[in-house]
Amino acid sequence: MARAIKTRTSGRLLKPRGKRAAPRKGKSAWKIRRVRGVQVVESAAFDKLRWLTHGFSTRPGGASHIQEREKTALNLGFTEWDGHERVVANREKFLAAIGARKMSFITMRQFHSDAIQLAAAPCAETPSADALITNTPGLLLGVQTADCVPILLADTKRRAVAAIHAGWRGTLARIAVKTLGRMRMEFGTRASDVVAAIGPAIGQSCYEVGAEVAQAFANQFPPAAEWFEGPFAQLSDGVDPLWLPWLTMMPPGHVPPPPRVQLDLRAANRWQLIDAGVPEKNIEVSDLCTACSKDLLFSYRREGAKTGRMMAVIGIQ
């Protein structure tokens, strides 16, 4: 039998240390269900949509082996270090945990783009994209992450859904907003009818980026400074930090590393959805940090190439 596990905001069990992208007062809008050894993160944003299936996978409970002392892990990505048959078994176990074994599962070949694909029927080939949309019952859309931001959207009036992968490049390219636009074109979706869940991702305190990212965001978004901690003004003014040693005439071996800033990707995507017309009350943001939650989530930043992949999935029953 499934049982709910309360998150940090309700005072029990989970203690993610990454900075929250959007603090929420009162009872947590997120829960973790434990089903046959698998833990599934779910958002209350979709609680009233009985026609919808969704879930964010976690690390424990699979058939993969990553670390010597670790119990088996639920890796859902076809990585070089993991066996194909183990990943297939992990995916089947996860789909069973969310009650979606009879649905047609569609994933993407992600490449940090703003490409969006319409899924109208089960497909033999994996589409190259970073967002999928559908209004076809029986299809389950999946996006893989290991630090990047997974975003699930649901049109409550027209019964259409989307799964989005947003790293810093996708966030900079406004992939969430463009997905809303594609849903409007294909299904007549209005942003005011959309509910959104921004799932577990790397927290601001764990996500350092350089001057090129700060400058790119400063050039694109008026409120960008609100999403960064550190010397954002210094890095975003266009001055290349690599020139500073020449200006100060510091001797070789005494040059300090270039300054860095910390980016809150979840806050950036939340702002974009609100700016596009999604009501603020319709957006739920998880405070789970992939880099901090070592026993619960995978993190490429923390573990490097030999880490697993999680899945965020959504579909119409």
Q: Tell me the mean pLDDT in the region 169-180.
A: 98
Q: pLDDT averaged over the chain?
A: 89
| pLDDT recorded at residue 21 | 44
**Structural domains of the chain, ranges and CATH numbers in brackets:** 3-203+287-316 (3.60.140.10), 208-261 (no CATH)
Task: Provide the pLDDT for residue 67.
Answer: 76
Least confident span in 15-29, 58-72, 162-176, 191-205? 15-29
312, with CB counted inside 10 A (0-12, 13-18, 19+), is: buried
Q: What residue type is assigned to position 269 of the chain?
A: N
- Per-residue pLDDT reduced to its tens digit, 86-106: 999 999 999 999 999 999 999
Helices assigned H by DSSP within 24-120: 84-97
* pTM score, whole prediction: 0.88
Q: Indicate whether 6 pLDDT > 60.
A: no
* Rg for the chain, CA atoms, rounded: 20
What are the residues facing 156 on neighbouring strands? none
pLDDT at 62: 94
Please give the angle made by the CA atoms of 298, 196 and 261, to the nearest 5 degrees: 55
